[in-house]
């Protein structure tokens, strides 16, 4: 890497969509980092970045050869994995915001994580620094349960349903605003939230947490209607898509489903796309919240990771053993998180 000299660190970007373009905007103002090349699928698309003719390419090798650090913002799993693997094989540290990649290929990526060569703060809760927290100081606060609102698109769609906007129109608006995944069924089916919850779970409670079990325990918001979410509002409550990791039967269980949250509940507050997490531990309750989706919101967290990678600092460390599963008495002492399954939560769409 170039950080020992005064030459800027060369950034190779894989993907120049909502987040990649916002990152390119942020890099314009830096003298220590330079956007060297950006991989896209369609080089003929107009791009609103500086020097597009010099930067944009469809040649992955060109990006990898000419970069010191690689940032993966293309999305998807197989193609993204091949590109990240190739970057790591060439000795490049990698920054990614791709939680689908992390959840589906965690075990393949674990050696690079163990070496500290993979950075992924932006993959969960976008602009709120949850990865640093669960892989850092929260490890000292023995977990009892975790509840989180993790998908900005669902938060946005639910707030539109509250206003009486039909479901399909709300999803289309989230797509236009750049919150939704390239395939928005990932958002509304709960899978994107499950990808993120899995990343939290592997870092916070159990390095063997099962992705297949969580995927099977995931329900989305597809069956919700303005009528259902408006009924929740009659008592001042709200419906939110919540991911939870709780102890049950002597093990850690993870699940994602829409729930009713009562008036004033911290997971039900804030702007439409806000992400938030309640971490209840033996040492007390921690709460984290921040922007959960969006170009600049996510790119700012990517830039934080880029600065760490460029300086040679390692990415988040893996959990080496499962956190002890709390006793029933410990859970009862905490009291219930006030929430109830919303209608439609038990129906698989
Ligand atoms: P996006 O707008 O769909 O952009 C994807 C970019 O990747 C496009 O530039 C596309 O090229 C390029 N690309 C896709 N497949 C490719 C391939 N096979 N070969 C070469 N280039 C390819 O996606 P995004 O919203 O920026 O999201 C990027 C990543 O960040 C995803 O993993 C997403 O889950 C994650 N993320 C997004 C947000 C958000 O709010 N949007 C927040 C947190 C994390 P073209 O431009 O030529 O089509
Ligand atoms: N589609 C995702 C969401 C982007 O709506 O939360 C942020 O990860």
pLDDT digits over 210-220, tens only?
999 999 999 99
Residue given tokens 């209840």 in the structure block = 280
The torsion angle over the Cα atoms of residues 26, 31, 36 and 41, rounded to 10 degrees, is: 0
pLDDT tens per residue, range 173-209: 999 999 999 999 999 999 999 999 999 999 999 999 9
Residue 163 burial (10 A CB sphere; 0-12, 13-18, 19+): exposed
Q: With pLDDT > 90 as the criterion, what percentage of the chain qualifies?
A: 85
Please confirm, yes or no, whether 196 is among the known catalytic residues. Answer: yes
155 pairs with which residues across the strands?
Answer: none
How confident is the model at residue 335, as a pLDDT? 64
Look at residue 338 and tell me whether its pLDDT is greater than 80: no
Q: Which residue's CA is minimally distant from atom 42 of ligand 1?
A: 293
Provide the token pair at 236. Answer: 């001042």
Ligand whose nearest atom lies closest to the CA of 181? 2
How confident is the model at residue 1, as a pLDDT? 58
First-last CA distance in the chain = 48
pLDDT tens per residue, range 90-147: 999 999 999 999 999 999 999 999 999 999 999 999 989 999 999 999 999 999 999 9
Residue 130 · residue 124 · CB < 8 Å: yes
CATH code matching the domain that covers 9-119, chosen among 3.40.50.720, 3.40.50.970, 3.40.50.80, 3.90.420.10: 3.40.50.720
Q: Which strand (E) or helix (H) includes residue 29?
A: none
Q: Which strand (E) or helix (H) includes residue 18?
A: helix 18-27
User: Would you put residue 265 in left (φ > 0), alpha (ψ -120 to 50) or beta?
Assistant: beta
Q: What is the pTM for the complete model shown?
A: 0.95
Provide the 3-class DSSP secondary structure of residue 12: strand
Pocket-testing residue among 41, 131, 174, 180, ligand 1, by greatest number of atoms within 8 A of Cβ: 41
The CA 179 to ligand 2 mean position distance, Å, reads 6
Q: Which residue's CA is minimally distant from atom 8 of ligand 2?
A: 293
Pocket-testing residue among 17, 101, 179, 290, ligand 2, by greatest number of atoms within 8 A of Cβ: 179
Residues 6+ apart with CB under 8 A from 237: 260, 261, 262, 263, 265, 268
Look at residue 3 and tell me whether its pLDDT is greater than 90: no
- Number of Cβ atoms within 10 Å of the Cβ of 124: 28
Mean pLDDT of the 327-335 span: 76
Residue 22 · residue 303 · CB < 8 Å: no
Q: How confident is the model at residue 346 (pLDDT cuts 50, 70, 90)?
A: very low
How confident is the model at residue 6, as a pLDDT? 80
Each domain of the chain, given as residue ranges in start order, spans 9-119, 130-293+322-348
Longest dimension (CA), the chain: 63
Look at residue 169 and tell me whether its pLDDT is greater than 70: yes
The CA 65 to ligand 2 mean position distance, Å, reads 30
Burial 100-116 (b: 16+ CB within 10 A, else e): bbbbbbbeebeebbeeb
Nearest to 101 by CA among 213, 196, 217, 201: 196
How confident is the model at residue 347, as a pLDDT? 34
How confident is the model at residue 98, as a pLDDT? 98
CATH topology of domain 130-293+322-348: Dihydrodipicolinate Reductase; domain 2 (3.30.360)
Q: Which of 37, 195, 196, 274 is catalytic?
A: 196
Look at residue 340 and tell me whether its pLDDT is greater than 60: no
Lowest mean pLDDT among 20-24, 140-144, 223-227, 335-339: 335-339
Provide the token pair at 49. Answer: 């970045």
């Amino acid at each position: 890497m170039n950080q020992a000299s005064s030459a800027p660190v060369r950034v190779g970007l894989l993907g120049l969509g909502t987040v990649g373009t916002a990152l390119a905007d942020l890099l314009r103002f830096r003298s220590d980092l330079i956007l060297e090349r950006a991989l896209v699928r369609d080089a003929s698309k107009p791009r609103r970045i500086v020097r597009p003719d010099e930067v944009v390419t469809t040649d992955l090798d060109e990006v990898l050869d000419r970069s010191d650090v690689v940032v993966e913002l293309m999305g998807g799993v197989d193609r993204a994995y091949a590109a990240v693997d190739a970057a790591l094989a060439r000795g490049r540290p990698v920054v990614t915001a791709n939680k689908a990649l992390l959840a589906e290929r965690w075990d393949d990526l674990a050696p690079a994580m163990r070496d500290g060569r993979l950075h992924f703060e932006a993959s969960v809760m976008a602009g709120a620094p949850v990865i640093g927290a669960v892989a850092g100081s929260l490890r000292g606060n023995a977990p009892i349960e975790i509840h989180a609102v993790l998908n900005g698109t669902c938060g946005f769609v639910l707030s539109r349903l509250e206003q009486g906007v039909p479901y399909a129109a709300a999803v289309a608006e989230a797509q236009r605003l750049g919150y939704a995944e390239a395939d928005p069924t990932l958002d509304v089916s709960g899978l994107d939230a499950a990808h993120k919850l899995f990343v939290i779970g592997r870092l916070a409670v159990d390095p063997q947490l099962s992705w297949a079990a969580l995927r099977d325990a995931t329900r989305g918001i597809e069956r919700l209607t303005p009528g259902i979410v408006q009924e929740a509002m009659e008592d001042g409550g709200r419906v939110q898509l919540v991911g939870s990791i709780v102890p049950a039967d002597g093990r850690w269980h993870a699940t994602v489903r829409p729930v009713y949250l009562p008036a004033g509940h911290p997971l039900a507050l804030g702007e439409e796309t806000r992400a938030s997490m309640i971490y209840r531990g033996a040492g007390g309750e921690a709460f984290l919240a921040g922007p959960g989706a969006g170009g600049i919101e996510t790119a700012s967290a990517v830039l934080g990771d880029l600065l760490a990678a460029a300086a040679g600092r390692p990415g988040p460390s893996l959990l080496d053993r499962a956190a002890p599963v709390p006793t029933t008495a410990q859970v009862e002492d905490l009291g219930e998180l006030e929430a109830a399954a919303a209608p439609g939560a038990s129906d698989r769409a």
